[in-house]
Amino acid sequence: MSDVPLSLRSPNVYALVVACTLLTAALSFWGALSLGSVAFVILMVVVALTGIPHGAVDHVVAADLYGLTSSWSDQAKFYGVYLALMAAYGVLWLISPVVSLGLFLVLTMYHFGQADLAYWNVPSPWHPLLYASRGLLLLGLPIVAFPEVVDPIFAAIADVQVSDWPGVTTASTLLLGGLVAQHALSLGLLSQVGTASGKDVGRELFNTAVLAVLLITAHPLVGFAVYFGLWHSLGHMMEILRFFQRHGRTATFGYFYRKAALFTLISFIGLGGLYLINEAFGAQDQMIALLFILISVLTLPHMLVVEAMYQRERPETAPAAG
């Protein structure tokens, strides 16, 4: 076996992820995963198993990136900045939920796109366009396909009604097609300025079709859970293992979960509390809203650590034509 850790593009891993995605889409199409309670449980389980752990080793990644030691001063620097960013975003949610929701959507589009397509090595200033295009596909499809499901969640988060957005209810088919088309076009155009091969372009066009089928047919929470758990979080965990290997660390899932154990356990306790509250009061939309707010607060510092990690390998200018 190779000493290089797996990635989401490793044949066996990729085949399993695609198979699970298409199976979920098929079951959803036939109504087997349409119940809200089932969707909520799936979301909670996926967030617990891969979603939370994939960001629970930021302290280890930051230590390698910035040369931090285990000294009290270095640890205080990292956790001080990390917690301050979370606190600032939490305060922003209290002050302006609408602005906070908008910021979360923008950050999420970039972050999801980066995790999926950073391997293309698209140089500045083009890479944000590629990432945003992927993120727009991932967030836009379930919103347009299921506004009646997203409405109560966004209303609980920030009193926002997505069904009032232009075209969501009056031209949904056109919007869905446009979301898929804009990403396919972005893949074709921006592959010319990066290191993507023809095989990479073909794979990502296929991924676009697979994810579109999932997000248009599955309950939004189920679709989000499958993408977030298998495509984003699992893929990111394997990229972190490759990062660990480059920095002389052990590149195994066992090592990863040991390093993520403390913060994952804390998150498990929080998720368990949310589940018990939901069971006791039945306020599912409010609990989902709170879960997404907590994810958003964690996303900001996590995204900055991930951005720093990818900056180490991204070319700064477009390659010369030749």
In 10 A of CB 3, how many CB atoms?
A: 6
Q: What is the pLDDT of residues 272-311, one digit of tens each?
A: 776 676 666 666 666 777 777 888 888 899 999 999 999 8
Q: E strand or H helix at 214, and its extent? A: helix 198-217
In whole angstroms, give the CA distance from residue 259 to residue 59.
Answer: 9
Letter for the amino acid at 92? Answer: L
pLDDT at 1 over 60: no
Residue 71's alpha-carbon distances to 68, 295, 302, in angstroms, are 8, 29, 22
- Average pLDDT over all residues of the chain: 86
Report the pLDDT value the prediction gives residue 285, as an integer from 0 to 100.
Answer: 64
In whole angstroms, give the CA distance from residue 203 to residue 238.
Answer: 19
> What is the mean predicted confidence (pLDDT) over 129-145?
97
pLDDT at 317 over 70: no
In whole angstroms, give the CA distance from residue 231 to residue 126.
Answer: 23
pLDDT at 77 over 60: yes
Report the pLDDT value the prediction gives residue 322, as an integer from 0 to 100.
Answer: 31
Q: What is the pLDDT of residues 162-203, one digit of tens each?
A: 999 999 999 999 999 999 999 999 999 999 998 899 999 999
Report the pLDDT value the prediction gives residue 274, as an integer from 0 to 100.
Answer: 64
> What is the C-alpha end-to-end distance of the chain, expressed in Å?
37
DSSP letter at 96? Answer: -
In this predicted structure, which of 136-150, 180-194, 239-253 has the lowest mean pLDDT? 239-253
Report the pLDDT value the prediction gives residue 39, as an integer from 0 to 100.
Answer: 63
